[in-house]
A and B are shown apart, each in its own frame.
Chain A
């Protein structure tokens, strides 16, 4: 990843960005993003960390009392205003055939990567 071109646009990265661009203003936590991107759970944290490092994503802790809710806090992610624009440009530049995306998606959802 370079500062000029943003993160390396691997297929999982593209899937995450497409999932987040579907509703750019909405905050999502890791599992939600994984489901929306159709990636196996537990595989997306390096991608999220990379995107956050580039400034394309912002994250924050959920503002709840874990004792009252009965579960730990979620870490919510959202595309930053610049990030959404960068992501759109980067995805437009990368021409991944949709057939290839859907073929690889099946493998990624099974945790192949």
Chain B
């Protein structure tokens, strides 16, 4: 009867021993699997490192590009403000100068009249000289006024060219072709068509101007035939054919 508990105890010990071995093996397997997982994770992390680096670099570049873009926008805004302010200042200066020139011309005209009255009234040589000098000065003032007007016109034309791009001064070749076409027309019609063609040249986009000028030249003879066959009213404009 004493052998049974011993055999049972031995069997239990053996079972326990086996269970311990199984548990150890499982723990070892888990540890190995864990180690393998860690190794894989490390490999993946190593593989991801350059990818992350590559992703971050464009992001940094993108941020820099955005900063640059904002800086360029600010610079553009400042440049536009400055150009506008300069234009305004020039326009104001030119307008002021033109007004002064006009006023000066009017004053000189008045002074001329006074000097002439003096010369007529008292027949003084000095008054006559003064009148001549004033005449010359008035002629200069008129030229000055015209120059200011021309400068203002050019200023506005330049401003429009900067703003619109299309209303700029036409190039030399299209202008030359238009002048040539106008010379083919009757003398009395030349000023009208010169102005008309020039206006259309100015209003056309730059890339269409040469074609326009060539077509005007190509049709100039036809236009001349029409204009030479037209009867005129006393003011020079074409009369109705039925009235001829």
Contact = CB atoms under 8 A, between A and B. Distances in A.
Interface of A: 1-3, 29-31, 40-43, 45-46, 49-50, 52-55, 66-75, 111
A3 B240 CA distance: 9
Interface in B162-213: 167, 192-193, 195-196, 198-200, 202-204, 208, 211-213
A41 B197 CA distance: 10
Contact of B242 (A3, A30, A42): A3
Contact of A43 (B219, B229, B240): B219
Nearest to A80: B240
A9 to B, nearest CB: 15
Nearest to B196: A75
Interface residues of B, number: 41
Nearest to B215: A42
A68 B153 CA distance: 7
- Chain A interface mostly: mixed
Nearest to A61: B195
Given A3-B241, A72-B202, A41 B226 contact: no
Given A70-B159, A71-B167, A49 B199 contact: no
Interface in B119-162: 149, 152-153, 156-157, 159-160
Task: Please give me the 4 A-B residue pairs with the lowest Cβ-Cβ distance, nearest first.
Answer: A70-B156, A42-B215, A55-B240, A72-B199
A53 B153 contact: no
Interface of B: 149, 152-153, 156-157, 159-160, 167, 192-193, 195-196, 198-200, 202-204, 208, 211-216, 218-219, 222-223, 225-227, 229-230, 238-244
Contacts of A55: 239-243
Residue with the highest number of chain B CB atoms closer than 10 Å, among A3, A55, A67, A73: A67
Nearest to A66: B153
A56 to B, nearest CB: 9
Given A42-B215, A67-B152, A72-B195, A49 B227 contact: yes
A73 B195 contact: yes
Given A55-B242, A72-B202, A75-B195, A42 B160 contact: no
Nearest to A52: B238
A50 B226 contact: yes
Contact of A53 (B208, B216, B238): B238
A75 B242 contact: no
Contact of A111 (B153, B215, B242): B215
Residue with the highest number of chain B CB atoms closer than 10 Å, among A1, A29, A43, A50: A50
B156 A41 contact: no
8 contacts: A31-B203, A42-B212, A53-B241, A54-B241, A55-B239, A70-B153, A70-B159, A71-B203
B218 to A, nearest CB: 8
B236 to A, nearest CB: 12
A68 B240 CA distance: 35
A75 B199 contact: yes
A46 B244 contact: no
A71 B160 contact: yes
A63 B226 CA distance: 26
Given A1-B241, A49-B223, A70-B159, 16 more contacts: A3-B242, A30-B196, A41-B211, A41-B212, A41-B215, A42-B212, A43-B219, A49-B227, A52-B238, A53-B238, A55-B241, A71-B157, A71-B202, A71-B203, A72-B199, A75-B192
